Amino acid sequence: MANRPTIHDVAERAGVSKSLVALVFKQESGVSAKRRELVMQAAKELGYTPNAFASALRSGNNGFIGIVVADFHNPLFTEFADLARQAFAARGIFCFIATASISIEDGVERIDPVPIQHMLDLKPSSLLIVGGLADHTPFKNISDKLPIVQVLSSKGDLKRAVSVRCNEERAMKLVLDHLQSLGHSNIVYIGPAGERVAEDRRRAYQSQAKKHKIKTHMVSTNISKNEESGLAAGLIALQLNPTALVCFNDNVAFGVQDALARKKSKVALTGFDNTFFGNLERISLTTIDQNKALIVDKVVELLSDAKLFASLRGEEILIEPNLVVRESTASLQKR
């Protein structure tokens, strides 16, 4: 009908005061069974559900978790956001999801504060940031009481948050161990620069390359449109005559695979993220699995336990990744 029924309508129908209705919906005890029944009946008849945000306005918080997704075009992020949402839903906790809209001003990535403000206006009880944000200024002004967990990215300048992310060093060790065991030594890394996760991964690669006594060749791609710039970067990388290419993520690797196809090259190739496309027979990409399930578990644990969160505030929690070996690194092995 015209408008959602309110606590007022329910009270009137049940013949009680509004306060009593509020009590019934908030507290387990403190209301007589008779009246409780009466209120529930009226509520059911009217199809009443509490307005969570009017409630938040008054009480100052409202048990839901705000999820901010850094980039909707990254399937890893949306998939993770949904996994987290489901995990919380299973515990009866609602999640609201918003995107951070990114604009580029004078070559610098800036995020629009408006969506974040709106999210904060809703008074979430905690915040989950999925992916790396170039800019944390919209979060500067918020209450210290609000727990913030950042995931799939390092913390950056968000000092008060807990970050849960893949152990990049370990991931690159797995990749290079694998490639070296296949006899590769002329390896080129292909990936973007300038963004947080991109930089973390580059550093991890460089550090591990040094440990593996491998010369570090790096070829850069654009940050966005990974698969397209992967193609371009792949063509450049091939001019260095590598025997193996290590890519920033699966999407870049897919683009590089196109470059290999065009040049009829059979250079070994690795990705990162274990996107399901990598598992297709025609793609069959060796890649790093970030262990999303473990990450979700950790996030749920952190945001369900205020004391645990407080004790880990400002820390980075590293989750151990796995290597998934497929055809893309098998060609040399077969010789």
Partner DNA sequence: TTGTATGCGTTATCAA
Partner DNA sequence: TTGATAACGCATACAA
- List of residues contacting a copy of itself (CB under 8 A): 1-4, 47, 49, 51-54, 56-57, 64, 72-73, 75, 78-79, 81-82, 85-86, 89, 94, 96-99, 101, 112-115, 117-118, 120-122, 141-144, 227, 254, 257-258, 261-262, 276-277, 280-283
Q: What is the secondary structure of 240-292 as a DSSP string?
A: T--SEEEESSHHHHHHHHHHHHHTT---EEE-SS--GGGGSTTT--BEEE--H
Q: How far is the CB of 234 from a copy of itself (least distance, A)?
A: 11
CB closer to DNA out of 39 and 129? 39
Distance CA 126, CA 266 (A): 48
From the centroid of its chain, how far is CA 232? Answer: 27
Residue 22 contacts DNA per CB under 7 A: yes
CA angle centred on 274, ends 269 and 278, rounded to 5°: 60
**How far, CA to CA in Å, does 310 sit from each of 139, 245, 298, 303, 313?**
18, 41, 14, 10, 5
Q: How far is the CB of 146 from a copy of itself (least distance, A)?
A: 11
Q: How far is the CB of 277 from a copy of itself (least distance, A)?
A: 6
Nearest CA-CA partner of 156 in 108, 197, 111, 97: 197
Residue 30 contacts DNA per CB under 7 A: yes
Q: Strand, helix or coil at 287?
A: strand
From the centroid of its chain, how far is CA 97? Answer: 12
CB closer to a copy of itself out of 253 and 323? 253
Over the window 38 to 77, marking each residue x when it contacts DNA by CB under 7 A and - when it does not, the resulting string is ------------xx--xx-xxxx-----------------
Distance CA 261, CA 186 (A): 20
Q: How far is the CB of 36 from DNA (least distance, A)?
A: 7
CB closer to DNA out of 57 and 293? 57
Q: Which of residues 166-185 bind DNA (CB under 7 A)?
A: none
- Total of residues contacting DNA (CB under 7 A): 29
Region at 32 (left for phi over 0; alpha for psi -120 to 50; beta for the rest): beta
Distance CA 193, CA 23 (A): 54
254 contacts which partner out of DNA, a copy of itself, none, CB within 5 to 8 A by kind? a copy of itself
240 contacts which partner out of DNA, a copy of itself, none, CB within 5 to 8 A by kind? none
What DSSP character marks residue 286? Answer: B
Owner of token pair 């009590």: 23
Q: How far is the CB of 6 from a copy of itself (least distance, A)?
A: 11
26 contacts which partner out of DNA, a copy of itself, none, CB within 5 to 8 A by kind? DNA
Let me know: does 169 contact 206? Beta carbons within 8 Å. no
Q: How far is the CB of 239 from a copy of itself (least distance, A)?
A: 19
